[in-house]
């Protein structure tokens, strides 16, 4: 349990890869959920977190895993968005993680965001395995629901197996081109110097027992020393989302990646103006195997130990920003922790220009992603902020010199009633969407129309 002194820290496993290669579906398969089906545009927009206990892992892995071999409490999976604009979110995902699963569609092979994910893993020195996903789409495949991959391969025709192997060898070649020596995972002895490739299907569950076994082995063998360090220190985390909860007001969904947070602790959180100092009123933990992004029922607990997804209820969180750091103050003085949080925030600021568009987004991560997408499209930004569209945003947009800059681009945000009025009165155009590339495309089409 979380209160165990000397307990090992739960390893954080980031799931990375190109858009639609099956990251969320893979996690759905492991936790027995259907998060992917509820996503806008079938695209993951925000980082998620799911604690999968050792029991679930050993149930799924069946004969491949002996739970008595492991003393890790389980794995905390971090789902990340694959769309190309989310490089900064992924980078933080990569940096947060102890190990990673790089999901690659076996038919599609290496794609730009696969390469980008590899660059992030290389830069952060994160050990990883490759899940070669969608093996069930191999022509002539004979699906073997939930079976280990070797057992499934025994049931395939030579033709199907050869087709799959061609794709897998191509993948191994591409990894080698990136400077990694890789092989089928069952041939890998040392997972630190060689990348194991695990053929899987998120759809049929084939190969999932193997993937979980490799992840447990990798964490257990190479991470144990790290996992035992600093589990009882002051908690450190990242805000995934700020959400209103009935009876609590604004709350934080947090990935706690280090230390412990307790009810009554003083915490410092990145806010829209200055860091917020407040006191933890309640800690709400998602059920095991639940995605914190979609969880409805939380359990109230006295303390939470890293790594974990946790909802923190505290006063004065309205101005807290998604993507901001959160730190427990214990021993250190509040000002030192505030300074630390300010420093972390300064690293994620958006460049603005003299003239340009106004951008509003729901999280620091998506704001950064918007800024990257707009930079790529050569659209300058006058102001970029986290939050709903307010009348003052309209006032700022109105001051832009060029007509095509008198716009507000809103990603995943609401428009306040007064702002609707101001938009009508001033003729400032609002574009809003919950898929970034569509939002940018809509704006580009508008600019083209103006030029005609």
Q: Does 24 bind Mg ion (CB under 5 A)?
A: yes
Residue 29 contact among ligand GTP, Mg ion, Na ion, none, beta carbon within 5 to 8 Å by kind: none
Q: Which is nearer to Mg ion, 93 or 271 (CB)?
A: 93
Q: Does 22 bind ligand GTP (CB under 6 A)?
A: yes
The candidate with the shortest Cα–Cα distance to 99, out of 10, 204, 228, 200, is: 10
First-to-last CA distance in the chain? Answer: 65
Indicate the residue whose CB is closest to ligand GTP.
82
**Rounded Cα–Cα distance for residues 231 and 5 (Å):** 9
Which x/- pattern, by CB under 5 A, does the window 165-184 give for Mg ion? --------------------
Q: Does 21 bind ligand GTP (CB under 6 A)?
A: yes
In terms of C-beta density within 10 A (0-12 exposed, 13-18 middle, 19 or more buried), how is residue 107 classed?
middle
Q: Does 23 bind Mg ion (CB under 5 A)?
A: yes
The pair phi, psi for residue 207, each rounded to 5°, is 85, -10
Residue from 107, 137, 266, 398 binding ligand GTP (CB under 6 A) = 137
The candidate with the shortest Cα–Cα distance to 12, out of 238, 182, 202, 311, is: 238
Of the ranges 39-47, 110-118, 245-253, 266-274, which one interacts with Na ion (CB under 5 A)?
39-47
Q: Does 385 bind Na ion (CB under 5 A)?
A: no
Alpha helices in 149-207 (DSSP H): 149-154, 158-177
CB of 47 to Mg ion, least distance (A): 10
CB of 40 to Na ion, least distance (A): 10
In terms of C-beta density within 10 A (0-12 exposed, 13-18 middle, 19 or more buried), how is residue 398 classed?
middle
CB of 103 to Mg ion, least distance (A): 9
**Rounded Cα–Cα distance for residues 327 and 313 (Å):** 14
Are 255 and 240 in contact, with CB atoms under 8 Å apart? yes
**Rounded Cα–Cα distance for residues 104 and 373 (Å):** 23
Residue from 10, 31, 44, 73 binding Mg ion (CB under 5 A) = 44
Q: Does 20 bind ligand GTP (CB under 6 A)?
A: yes
Residue 21 contact among Mg ion, ligand GTP, Na ion, none, beta carbon within 5 to 8 Å by kind: ligand GTP
CB of 78 to ligand GTP, least distance (A): 12
Q: Does 20 bind Na ion (CB under 5 A)?
A: yes
Query: Quick count: other Cβ atoms within 10 Å of Cβ 387?
Result: 18
Using N-to-C axis directions, what is the helix angle for 208-227 and 23-31, rounded to 10°? Answer: 90
Cα angle 399-402-403, degrees, rounded to a multiple of 5 = 90
CB of 374 to ligand GTP, least distance (A): 20
Of the ranges 22-30, 100-108, 241-249, 318-326, which one interacts with Mg ion (CB under 5 A)?
22-30
- Residues numbered 31 to 90 that lie near ligand GTP (CB under 6 A) are 36, 42-44, 81-83
Q: Which is nearer to ligand GTP, 3 or 42 (CB)?
A: 42
Q: How far is CA 33 from CA 23, 73, 78, 87, 394, in A?
A: 13, 21, 15, 26, 41
Indicate the residue whose CB is closest to Na ion.
20
CB of 444 to ligand GTP, least distance (A): 21
**Chain contacts with ligand GTP (rule: CB under 6 A):** 17, 19-25, 36, 42-44, 81-83, 133-134, 136-137, 201-203
**Chain contacts with Mg ion (rule: CB under 5 A):** 23-24, 44
**Chain contacts with Na ion (rule: CB under 5 A):** 20, 42-43
């Amino acid at each position: 349990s979380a209160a165990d002194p000397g307990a090992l820290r739960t390893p954080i496993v980031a799931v990375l890869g190109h858009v639609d290669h099956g990251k969320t579906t893979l996690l759905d398969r492991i936790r027995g959920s259907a998060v992917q089906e509820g996503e806008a545009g079938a695209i993951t927009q925000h980082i998620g977190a799911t604690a999968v206990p050792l029991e679930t892992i050993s149930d799924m892995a069946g004969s491949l895993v002996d739970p008595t071999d492991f003393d890790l409490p389980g794995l905390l999976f971090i789902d990340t968005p694959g769309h190309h604009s989310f490089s900064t979110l992924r980078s933080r995902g990569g940096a947060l993680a102890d190990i990673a699963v790089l999901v690659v569609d076996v038919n599609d092979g290496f794609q730009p965001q696969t390469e980008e994910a590899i660059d992030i893993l290389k830069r952060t020195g994160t050990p990883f395995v490759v899940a070669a996903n969608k093996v069930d789409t191999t022509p002539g495949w004979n699906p073997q629901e939930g079976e280990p991959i070797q057992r499934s391969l025994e049931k395939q025709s030579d033709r199907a197996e050869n087709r799959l192997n061609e794709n897998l060898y191509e993948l191994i070649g591409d990894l080698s081109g990136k400077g990694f020596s890789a092989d089928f995972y069952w041939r890998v002895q040392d997972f630190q110097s060689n990348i194991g490739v695990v053929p899987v299907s998120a759809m049929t569950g084939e190969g999932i027992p193997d993937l979980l076994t490799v992840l447990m082995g990798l964490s257990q063998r190479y991470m144990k020393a790290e996992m035992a360090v600093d589990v009882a220190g002051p908690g450190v985390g990242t805000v995934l989302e700020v959400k209103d909860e009935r009876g609590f007001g604004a709350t934080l969904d947090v990935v706690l990646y280090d230390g412990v947070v307790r009810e009554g602790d003083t915490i410092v959180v990145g806010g829209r103006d200055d860091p917020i100092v407040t006191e933890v009123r309640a800690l709400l933990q998602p059920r095991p195997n639940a995605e914190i992004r979609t969880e409805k029922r939380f359990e109230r607990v006295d303390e939470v130990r890293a790594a974990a997804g946790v909802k923190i209820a505290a006063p004065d969180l309205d101005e807290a920003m998604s993507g901001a750091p959160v730190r427990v103050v214990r021993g250190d003085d509040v000002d030192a922790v505030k300074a630390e949080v300010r420093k972390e925030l300064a690293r994620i600021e958006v460049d603005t220009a003299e003239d340009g568009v106004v951008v509003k987004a729901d999280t620091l991560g998506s704001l950064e992603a918007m800024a990257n997408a707009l930079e790529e499209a050569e659209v300058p930004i006058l102001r970029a902020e986290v939050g709903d569209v307010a009348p003052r945003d309209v006032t700022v947009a109105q001051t832009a010199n060029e007509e095509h800059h008198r716009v507000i681009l809103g990603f995943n945000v609401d428009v306040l009633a007064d702002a609707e009025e101001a938009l009508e009165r001033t003729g400032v155009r609002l574009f809003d969407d919950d898929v970034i590339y569509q939002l940018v495309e809509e704006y580009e089409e508008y600019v083209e129309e103006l030029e005609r």
